[in-house]
């Protein structure tokens, strides 16, 4: 027996994230044994008949997690309507079925991004309640004062809401720019870039070097590697 909540079963099939599965169940687009499914109910994928938009779930995929060092100018999505290069295009075609990027890394940013078919991992790393850290190396214009950095550490008003406290360390100062190490527990849209602009020190370069306990560790830009289970399992346990 492998009884689990429907949204977890759907996400583990690689078809959708758990959050999207929740939405489809609420919209009545999921059936269980011929009737409309109810959010929160459980099923056994080996014996129960589950349909999403009238189609059977794909066979359950073996969990797969890839770490990619995304270059500048690559889109963090599975496809792009304008024909731009995506993170999926940087991995071999035989590994792509069911794989999706976990969260986003801006077009003009580079560094660590995870790709997976594991819905639990996606949920844990994208839902704000889990507070997984992400670490960035950021070159900013000028040399921010101690008071500016202290305010940034405590939190900055962004879109009418204070950001969570951040860890910020000055690593280097060269001519008219400063290298910062920034550690966040949240990931609002273009958060670092927007804050840096607000405090008068716009970002010149931004690289994410780690996601939770997963680090680039010398992985070259544009390259990827498949993570061993013991590297990512602690995130969802």
Query: pLDDT of 152-171, one tens digit each?
Result: 999 999 999 999 999 999 99
pLDDT at residue 95 greater than cutoff 70: yes
210: region left, alpha or beta (phi > 0 left; psi from -120 to 50 alpha) = beta
Looking at residue 1, what is its pLDDT?
42
Instruction: Give the mean pLDDT of 196-219.
Output: 96
Are residues 74 and 115 in contact, defined by beta-carbon separation less than 8 angstroms? no
- Which domains are present in the chain? 4-56 (3.10.290.10), 65-128+214-236 (3.30.70.580), 133-211 (3.30.70.1560)
Looking at residue 134, what is its pLDDT?
95
CA angle 228, 207, 162 (to 5 degrees): 105
The DSSP letter of residue 1 is -
Q: What is the pLDDT of residues 122-141, one digit of tens each?
A: 878 887 777 889 999 999 99
Are residues 212 and 125 in contact, defined by beta-carbon separation less than 8 angstroms? yes
Looking at residue 60, what is its pLDDT?
62
Q: Tokens 């909540």 label which residue?
A: 5
pLDDT at residue 183 greater than cutoff 50: yes
pLDDT at residue 121 greater than cutoff 90: no
Element (H, E) at 52: strand 50-52
> Looking at 48, 56, 80, 106, which residue is catalytic?
106
Instruction: Give the mean pLDDT of 168-185.
Output: 96
Residue 207 has a CB neighbour count (10 Å cut-off) of: 19
Q: List b or e across 113-139, with b for residues whose CB sees 16 or more CB atoms inside 10 angstroms.
A: bbbbbbbbbbbbbbeeeeebebbbbbb
Looking at residue 167, what is its pLDDT?
97
Are residues 26 and 39 in contact, defined by beta-carbon separation less than 8 angstroms? yes
Annotated catalytic residue 106: yes
How many angstroms separate the CA atoms of 9 and 44, rounded? Answer: 8
DSSP labels, 139-193: EEES---HHHHHHHHH--EETTEEPPP-EEEEEEEETTEEEEEEEES---TTHHH
């Amino acid at each position: 027996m492998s009884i689990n909540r429907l949204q977890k079963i759907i996400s583990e099939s690689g078809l959708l994230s758990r959050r999207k599965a929740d939405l489809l169940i609420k919209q009545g687009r999921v059936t269980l044994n011929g009737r409309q499914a109810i959010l929160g109910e459980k099923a056994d994928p080996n014996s129960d008949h589950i349909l999403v938009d009238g189609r059977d779930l794909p066979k359950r995929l073996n969990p797969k997690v890839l770490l990619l060092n995304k270059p500048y100018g690559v889109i963090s999505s599975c496809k792009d309507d304008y024909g731009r290069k995506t993170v999926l295009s940087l991995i071999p075609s035989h590994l792509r079925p069911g794989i999706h990027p976990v969260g986003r890394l801006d077009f003009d940013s580079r560094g660590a991004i995870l790709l997976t078919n594991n819905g639990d991992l996606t949920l844990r790393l994208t839902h704000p309640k889990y507070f997984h850290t992400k670490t960035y190396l950021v070159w900013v214009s000028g040399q921010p004062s101690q008071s500016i950095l202290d305010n940034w550490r405590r939190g900055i008003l962004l879109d009418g809401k204070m950001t969570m406290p951040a860890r910020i360390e000055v690593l280097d100062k060269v001519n008219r720019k400063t290298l910062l190490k920034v550690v966040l527990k949240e990931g609002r849209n273009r958060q670092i870039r927007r804050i840096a602009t607000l405090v008068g020190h716009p970002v010149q370069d931004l690289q994410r070097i780690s996601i939770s306990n997963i680090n680039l560790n010398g992985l070259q830009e544009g390259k990827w590697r498949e993570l061993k289970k013991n590297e990512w399992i602690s995130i969802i346990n």
